[in-house]
Amino acid sequence: MHMYLYLLPVYFSSMALPILSTVSYLNGVSALFLLFWGLSNFVRYTLYYFKEKKKLQPIVALLGITMGSLSLGPSVSFISLLATGANIDHITYGLMSYTLQPVTILAAMYLGFEVFNPEKQKLFVSLFTVLGIVFLVILWGWSEDMIVAQPVESGELLDVSLTSIALPYSIVNLLSLPVIISTGFARLRKSVSDPRAARRSKFLVRGWIVFAIAAILETVVPSQYVIIPRFFMSAAFINIFAGFKPIKKKD
């Protein structure tokens, strides 16, 4: 028995978290935070749907998953680094992070046009479906050329970004959110008489602008500044999901 007691310090020291830089911890923890926040919104709006049966709530729930998935790559790599001392492959990291980006844009277009311009919903959903498919073909078909790992010290959290044609293509798609969706909700806000609906529209105008800024920044900024786009992304989550929150009889 005494022999096993002597082995306990060795056992627990082997379980200790690796010593990473502050930047790596901020990167990993903030990514996990956004991932689980997205999943929590999926659960939240799924429960709203089962309670209220409003047709758009499953799309808002889907939005929660897809927005959270933008942080899936760094989250999984952070867990891998803590558990094994090694990052995941940078291609896997990139595919995890960017594959559902077109679905986020598509869900935003569907929800936005359903609210402020249903007549043009089919046109824009079809357009961004095609753009999303093209992006995925580029991303998966030439992933070695489209996903690049930034140099980091051994044992530090991986930093991955898009490059080549995938980067400007992604930026243009993301900019469609403030240009199209935020503009649409801004016009809606001016035309509605219900102050609660106007407030929801204000949240969505602001939310999609901030989301696009955060997503673009996270794609291009070095890892030491990643906390900045993550801060903006948190603000985007707050505004977007507040904007889609069901309006109660007394709000």
Please, what is the Cα angle at 125 between 122 and 126, to 5 degrees?
Answer: 80
DSSP summary character for residue 249: S
Q: Which residues fall within 8 angstroms of residue 161, CB to CB, at 6 or more apart?
A: 147, 148, 150, 167, 219, 220
E strands of 127-202, at which residues? 147-150, 159-162
- Asked if residue 223 has pLDDT above 70, the reply is yes
> What pLDDT band is residue 13 in, cutting at 50, 70 and 90?
very low
Average pLDDT of every residue of the chain: 86
User: Can you read off the two tokens belonging to residue 8?
Assistant: 């306990």
Cα 79 from Cα 16, distance rounded (Å): 13
**Taking Cα atoms as reference points, which of 188, 180, 201 lies closest to residue 124?**
180
Q: What is the pLDDT of residue 45?
A: 92
DSSP summary character for residue 162: E
- CATH code for residues 22-243: 1.20.1070.10
- Asked if residue 251 has pLDDT above 60, the reply is no
Domain map of the chain by residue range? 22-243
Q: What is the pLDDT of residue 17?
A: 58
> What pLDDT band is residue 152 in, cutting at 50, 70 and 90?
confident
- Asked if residue 38 has pLDDT above 50, the reply is yes
User: What's the pLDDT tens digit per position in 94-140?
Assistant: 999 999 999 999 999 998 888 888 899 899 999 999 999 999 999 99
**Taking Cα atoms as reference points, which of 162, 173, 163, 168 lies closest to residue 211?**
173
> What pLDDT band is residue 6 in, cutting at 50, 70 and 90?
very low
Q: What is the pLDDT of residue 5?
A: 45
User: What's the pLDDT tens digit per position in 174-197?
Assistant: 999 888 888 888 887 777 777 888
> Cβ(131)–Cβ(173) under 8 Å?
yes
CA 173 to chain centre: 14
User: What's the pLDDT tens digit per position in 40-75?
Assistant: 999 999 998 898 888 888 999 999 999 999 999 999
**Taking Cα atoms as reference points, which of 34, 21, 7 lies closest to residue 238?**
34
User: Can you read off the two tokens belonging to residue 227?
Assistant: 């906390």
Percent of the chain with pLDDT over 90: 53
- Asked if residue 16 has pLDDT above 80, the reply is no
Of the listed ranges 2-6, 72-76, 228-232, the least confidently predicted one is 2-6
Please, what is the Cα angle at 144 between 142 and 148, to 5 degrees?
Answer: 125
